[in-house]
Structure 1
Amino acid sequence: IPYTNRPIGWHTDGYYNSPDRTVRGLALHCVRQAESGGENRLMDPEIAYILLRDRNLEFIRALSRGDAMTIPANEEEGQDAVRAEQSGPVFSVSPADGSLHMRYSARKRNIRWRDDCATRDAVTALEEILADPGVYGFRYRLSAGQGLISNNVLHDRSGFEDGKGPGRLIYRARYYDRLENTGPDAQFK
């Protein structure tokens, strides 16, 4: 879906990656915007964590389990798996710097949630928060020459339509490191 004009639901990049390939930072650069649509919504995962925690601390415990969310293997019939099955928490803390990381996808297919009441209730609560992020959500449509550099934030994208000329072109880069000086011990100068 990322390479189509269809809408993409809330997610963090690389949610299907293995833990040693955790995406912690990202950059987008718009070369050409679509004729219409292609707007992103962004939300800081730490805000999502706080809002969820304030509803019920058990939601955080459920989504911090190592088997909270599983992405099935990406397999093609008759071939080896393109990507192995990946289970892991939605919320985790980096041992390197103590920063919070969120691994999430609002997908309804090709995702398995831990099958217990606590996880189901936590996922429902998170979906409610993301359905209406209020003042904590940021909505923006990149124009040509604009970009976004951030830690791996929650984001979605509306569908878009290209005109008759060259279509929408967005370059995307993902990084295994967070932006410098953005962890819990950040020193601003």
Structure 2
Amino acid sequence: MTNPASAAWVEPDAHPDSPFLPDNDGAYRRWRDAKLTGYPASAGELVVELGDPRAMSAGERAELLRVCRKANMAIYRSRLGALEDKDIPHRLGSAFGLRDLDRNPLADDDGVTSLSHVPGKSERGYIPYSNRRLLWHTDGYYNPPARRIRAFLLHCVRPAGEGGENGLLDHEIAYLRLRDTDPEYVRALMHPLAMTIPPNVESGTETRGAQSGPVFSIDPLNGRLHMRYTARTRSIVWRDDAITREAVQCLERILAEDSPHVFRYRLASGEGLLCNNVVHNRAAFSDAPGATRLLYRARYYNRLADT
């Protein structure tokens, strides 16, 4: 079930001084202090006011960049309201160097996905197209290394009538909390066979092969921390050893805590999330009569420029 090529996820030799390597304690301590200094204390501190995300001013872009550099994410609030325009994610993403879209089979023709409750897709097991809750995950956790999702963008055209709030946790904070608990947990979750996603099979046909890899890895392109994770249990095979089981349970506790680092926010019309693929979830929702929830989602192989 495992993929021999999965070792490509972990290339520590490319960045031997990385603070994310478990043996580099001094570098980690310096990174940790810098990370926590001035870290946002609430979701409100992530919000940046924009006029039009399709044509930001230099000041608006700089403020979004400042927040993303600290928290790997920012929430923008624009004056566009419920305008349906795919140019919004395309042009906003382009302003941050996001050009290489993950054109997955369920995306729209332009590579941006229109997320709403679609019973046909929901019944096939694709939870983002249902109105059910989405458990904690990073986007593209089932993708191979060559298609790492480094950033994604959500733009809300219409919120749900009720529910649909997102939980958001900076993946670097998740790593920090885990490493502070026990560096061996980090080491276990950096193993190239830590987490295996079984193949996807529809109507007896395999549409995606099994994919093994770590939860935490060092991105060989930029030396930054990458995370692939899902809290789903039905479609996950964890490495069968005691330390991995303990590490997974610790991570689950971190995600379940009422922590000041876990931000909760319900996007309104004209608002959006720009991020370096942070860990996130979504509450169940119900649509208002005659007004279905609609969000645009764009996933990228690029990381946000200058972060």
**The two structures share one fold, judged by TM-score above 0.5:** yes
Counterpart check, 1:84 vs 2:209: yes
Counterpart check, 1:51 vs 2:182: no
The structure showing larger relative contact order (alpha-carbon pairs under 8 Å, at least 6 residues apart) is 1
Note the alpha carbon deviations across 1:157-188, whole angstroms, 9 max, x for none: 00001011120001100000110111xxxxxx
Distance 2:298 2:255 in 1: 24
Note the alpha carbon deviations across 1:89-142, whole angstroms, 9 max, x for none: 000001111100000000011110000001000000000000015111111000
Counterpart check, 1:61 vs 2:187: yes
Counterpart check, 1:156 vs 2:276: no
Distance 1:83 1:114 in 2: 20
**1:163 partner amino acid:** A
**2:304 partner amino acid:** L
SS in 2 for 1:135: coil
User: Please, what TM-score do these two structures have when normalized by structure 2?
Assistant: 0.58
Q: Point out where structure 2 has 5 or more consecutive residues left out of the alignment.
A: 1-126
Percent identity of equivalent pairs? 59
Aligned length: 181
> Quick check: which one's helix share is greater?
2
- State the Cα RMSD in Å: 0.8
Match of 1:7 among 133, 136, 146: 133
SS in 2 for 1:15: coil
Deviation at 1:7, TM superposition (A): 0.3
Deviation at 1:78, TM superposition (A): 3.6
Distance 1:118 1:160 in 2: 36
Q: What is aligned with 2:296?
A: 171
Deviation at 1:84, TM superposition (A): 0.6
User: What does residue range 1-189 of structure 1 map to in structure 2 within 5 Å?
Assistant: 1-79=127-205, 81-182=206-307
Q: Which runs of 4+ in 1 moved over 2 A?
A: 76-79
Deviation at 1:25, TM superposition (A): 0.3
Distance 2:192 2:267 in 1: 35
Q: What is aligned with 1:185?
A: none
> Quick check: which one's strand share is greater?
1
SS in 2 for 1:126: helix
Q: What is aligned with 2:47?
A: none
The 3 A distance-change label for structure 1 pair 133 and 103 is farther
